[in-house]
Structure 1
Amino acid sequence: MDRATERAFKAAVRQEVAAKLGGEEAGPERVKELISIAVEAIAFDFGVALSPAESIALSNALIDDFLYYGPLQPLLNDGSITEIMVNGGGVDVTDPALPFLPPIVYVERAGRLEYRPDVAFDDSDHLRRIIDKIAEQAGARCDESHAMGCAMLPGGRARATYVVPPLAPDGPALNLRTFKNDLLSMEDLERAGALSAAMSDFLRSAVAARCPIVISGGTGSGKTTLLNALSGFIPPDERVITIEDTPELRLRTPHTERMQTREANTEGQGAVTMRDLVAIALRRRPDRIIVGECRGAEAYDMLQAMQTDHPGSMTTIHANDPDNAISRLRTMVGYADGELGRDVIMQQIAESLRGGLVVHTDRLQDGRRKVTSIVAVDPLPDGATVIPRAELFSFDVEGVDAEGWTVGSWRACGIQPQHIKERMRAAGVWYDPAWFFAA
């Protein structure tokens, strides 16, 4: 069966099954039964002799279309894949009036990209139906006026971001960032080589001592994974409220309340922002507030929470290094109140992060994710305009081996963070000076 015939065959089966269902809700077994019957009937109508293997393959592909996420379902079932990228196929340059070409699929595995020509869509409409399903399941819209979006798949198994025409000139495109069902602990990250034993022990005590922590890093560098792991050190009797755009955090502490932003409806009403949720969270008796990622004016409220009655709060921020994280915080606080001067903003950041940490994560050239720097933040001296900070641990890259793996090692910088030391001792948690002299 050639590709054109296969597409027509599948379209006929989909139409037949949809007509049989008549819009009624049907369980998976009923759908599978109808697809199996329709495949045999349409094969007869088309005059196609299907082998048992071909019949099973077509039925399974159609079952994935009806019940799951089409050709992407096997990739979602593959636990070694961390991201699925579906690009628009573009237009046929010989005849731009033709429909979009079929999408192209790449995956990320062990931090490296792989082209997957074996994962085929019938056409761009095939992908669009999957995007529409994802948006509908999340209660979102996907049309010309809402041509991009972000949504979680049911059960939190993956986060989807999508772009469709007119914002996507090459046809609809979709990214799926997958999440493992088994949460990684700090011990798991240590065994995987994401950080050293001394760094892990230090961070354990920092969380227990309620040091404010900002986790910085680029896209896909492991910020959320690290934050989830650190939550395992929060005492179980503390109440934690999490605030996110999409619910990616899965904390290891039992007393957790989750809150999520909401976009405006079709009339432009009903939007709930990060800043709205931080404000209401402060009135809900949290011991700590965790913001999934600070991107705007909510940074001001987050810093206020850290500075007052909610020490030990944590957040992530997109940044290239710890210095850039402080700079981005300054910019975002400026969004909240344009009348605040630079010096006042820096004073606010310094007071909020006093005795706290900026923990930076990186995805290395070989795709591995590591904690590459831990920086302590000190109070701002009178008259100073630069927040004092001291690097406690650093990952030094030494080069690349013959197989393309990054070679490097962690280095303890030999500096003891005095304000953090005071916090740990006041909280009665373990503090070991040896951490800072042998990573």
Structure 2
Amino acid sequence: MTTLDGRLLHDVRAHLGDADRTAPPGEADVAAALRSTGRVLGSDALTDLARAARAELVGAGPLQPLLDGPGVTDVLVNGPEEVWVDRGDGLERADLAFPSPDAVRELAVRMAAVAGQRLDDASPVVDARLPDGTRLHAAVAPVAPAGAAIALRVLRQATFDLETLAAHGTVPDPWLPVLHGLVRRRANLLVTGGTGTGKTTLLAALLGLVPHDERLLTVEEARELAPVHPHVLALAARRPNVEGVGEITLADLVRGALRMRPDRIVLGECRGAEVRELLLALNTGHDGGMATVHANAAEHVPARLEALAALAGMTRAAVAAQSAAALDVVLHLRRHRGRRHLAQIATVGRTEHGDLQVAPVASWHGPGAETPGTGTGWGALRERWAS
């Protein structure tokens, strides 16, 4: 990245600080600020400096080129000489170092401030979003003995359609009619998997199958879903500011979504007490809803839902009753050696003792494996949803 001298960056910051704005400055704003300094710059130099200045002001500073790299999902800083990057094939050491532990801390504090959060000795851990949606988690001393640690997760909007995913080996061809039928016949779907398994990507592809005369309402922490659909209303949660006020939670947005005439309600990621609002919404006639949840396997979904619902004060019996009535099918994804694939299709019901049960009816070991295996219940699922 092009380097900036301190005086020039100070002048740019001063110019942008004088402007009346409600959103972080874009590259055009930074370029205008650079021109206002009176420096004579060619078009290429101006573009490079504008990009570098914006990274220093509202981005990830020297880490920005790594975040902008193709396929990058995560950038991690364990210390001044330990910078790691994941380009989709696992972590590898980056050719980048900071001059000192103080430089890592300064960057972490500055990014937290840009995200409207506080990071200091009194509040040494922060979880926030940068203006471009990048997820920031950082810790400073005394929590981080090395001085500071930074973890950045890249937000990339998912725009693949289902057929493209099948062509890339994410979804087996024999399952395509079932997936099309689940969306067409308005099944309530839960897409599950671990971190980085492609849950949001599959969810966006499924939303692209929704008929174009239906209104989609998506609720997310930061917008990642970008389905190819003409009528999408996207709502994003807001974290509290440094004074601890102004928070708008996912639960707030799901409750509000019911009053906005949605044909389908979609929760980008359910990982807290908002599961109660989701289950209530799907139990009030809003068929065709979808959400994602972290889980290690389809069979583990009941335990995961119970843990999340406990945060909302729901009993195990209430979770079982609400989930069995609200959810139809679980689609579970796995990632193996950098390849993501739809590994299980499962149905949702209750055991004879009344407990919540998620029972896999088909499984696949990924690209290069044999034809997907099917078990008890697969025929009934196909007859109900794919016919």
**CA distance 1:289–1:166, change in 2 (3 Å):** farther
Give 1:209-248 correspondences, 5 Å limit.
209-248=185-224
Match of 1:142 among 112, 116, 119: 119
User: How many residues get paired?
Assistant: 367
Question: Residue 236 of structure 1: CA displacement?
Answer: 1.6
| Residue correspondence of structure 1 range 104-143 to structure 2 within 5 A | 104-116=82-94, 118-143=95-120
Cα deviation for residue 317 of structure 1 reads: 0.8
Segments of 5+ residues of structure 1 without an aligned counterpart are 1-9, 38-57, 90-101, 398-405, 425-429, 432-439
- Aligned residues: CA RMSD: 3.4
Between the aligned partners of 2:235 and 2:120, the Cα distance in structure 1 is: 26
Report the counterpart of residue 344 of structure 2 in structure 1. 373
| 1:270 to 2:246 alignment | yes
In structure 1, the residue matched to 2:324 is 350
Question: What amino acid is aligned across from residue 107 of structure 1 in structure 2?
Answer: V
Identical-pair percentage = 34
Helix, strand or coil at the partner of 1:272: coil
Question: 2:43 maps to which residue?
Answer: none
Instruction: Write the letter of the residue equivalent to 1:347.
Output: A
Give the AA of the match of 2:169: G
1:254-403 residue pairs with structure 2 within 5 A? 254-338=230-314, 340=315, 342-353=316-327, 356-364=328-336, 366-378=337-349, 380=350, 384-387=353-356, 389-396=358-365
Q: CA deviation at 1:267?
A: 4.2
Give distance in 2, aligned partners of 1:344 and 1:230: 29
Aligned partner of residue 228 in structure 1, secondary structure? helix
Q: Cα gap change, 1:203/1:60 in structure 2, threshold over 3 Å: closer, same or farther?
A: same
Contact 2:158 2:200 survives alignment (8 Å)? no
Q: What is the CA–CA distance in structure 1 between the aligned matches of 2:51 and 2:288, rounded to whole Å?
A: 49
In the alignment, is the contact (CA less than 8 A) between 2:272 and 2:309 conserved in 1? yes
Structure 1 residues 154 and 312: CA distance shift in structure 2, 3 A:
same
Three-state SS of the structure 2 residue aligned to 1:300 is helix
Distance 1:244 1:64, change over 3 A: closer
**3-state DSSP of counterpart to 1:233:** coil
Moved more, 65-74 or 222-231: 65-74
- Deviation per CA, 1:318-374, whole angstroms, max 9, x where unpaired? 111111112211232233235x3x334312211111xx211111111x121111111
**Hey, what does 2:67 align to over in structure 1?**
76
Task: Check whether the contact 1:206–1:420 (CA below 8 A) recurs between aligned residues.
Answer: no
Distance 2:145 2:252 in 1: 35
Q: Distance in 1 between matches of 2:290 and 2:82?
A: 38
Partners in 2 of 1:167 and 1:34 — Cα distance? 41
Q: Hey, what does 1:46 align to over in structure 2?
A: none
**Residue among 397, 402, 418 paired with 2:380:** 418
Tell me how far 1:233 sits from its aligned partner: 0.9
User: Structure 1 pair 32/126, CA: closer, same or farther in 2 (3 Å)?
Assistant: farther
In structure 2, what is the equivalent of residue 55 of structure 1? none
Q: Kindly name which structure, 1 or 2, has the bigger radius of gyration based on alpha carbons.
A: 1
SS at match of 1:238: coil
Give the AA of the match of 1:409. E
Offset of residue 78 of structure 1: 1.8
CA distance in 2, matches of 1:284, 1:61: 39
Is the 2:362–2:378 Cα contact (8 Å) retained in structure 1? no
User: What is the CA–CA distance in structure 2 between the aligned matches of 1:336 and 1:360, rounded to whole Å?
Assistant: 24
Q: Closer, same or farther in 2 for the Cα pair 1:419/1:19, shift >3 Å?
A: closer
2:299–2:357 CA contact under 8 A, matched in 1:
no
Tell me the distance in 2 between the aligned counterparts of 1:375 and 1:166: 45
Which sits farther off after the overlay, 208-217 or 290-299? 290-299
Question: Which blocks of at least 5 consecutive residues in structure 2 are unaligned?
Answer: 17-28, 41-47
Helix, strand or coil for the counterpart of 1:75? helix
Provide TM-score, normalisation by structure 2: 0.82
Change (3 A) 1:413 1:21: closer
Deviation (angstroms), 1:185? 1.9
Asked if 2 retains the 8 angstrom alpha-carbon contact of 1:199 and 1:393, the reply is: no
| Structure 2 residue matching 1:81: 3-state secondary structure | coil
Matched AA of 2:326: S
Q: Distance in 1 between matches of 2:246 and 2:92?
A: 41
Separation in 2, partners of 1:265, 1:34 = 32
Of 401, 405, 409 in structure 1, the residue corresponding to residue 370 of structure 2 is: 409
Give me the whole-angstrom Cα distance separating, in 2, the residues matched to 1:293 and 1:163: 24
Residues 1:393 and 1:132: Cα distance change in structure 2 (over 3 Å): same
CA distance in 2, matches of 1:265, 1:30: 27
**TM score, norm. by length of structure 1:** 0.73
Aligned-partner Cα distance in 1 for 2:175–2:113: 43
Q: Deviation of residue 275 (structure 1)? A: 1.7
Deviation (angstroms), 1:31:
3.6
Partners of 2:369 and 2:381 lie apart in 1 by 30
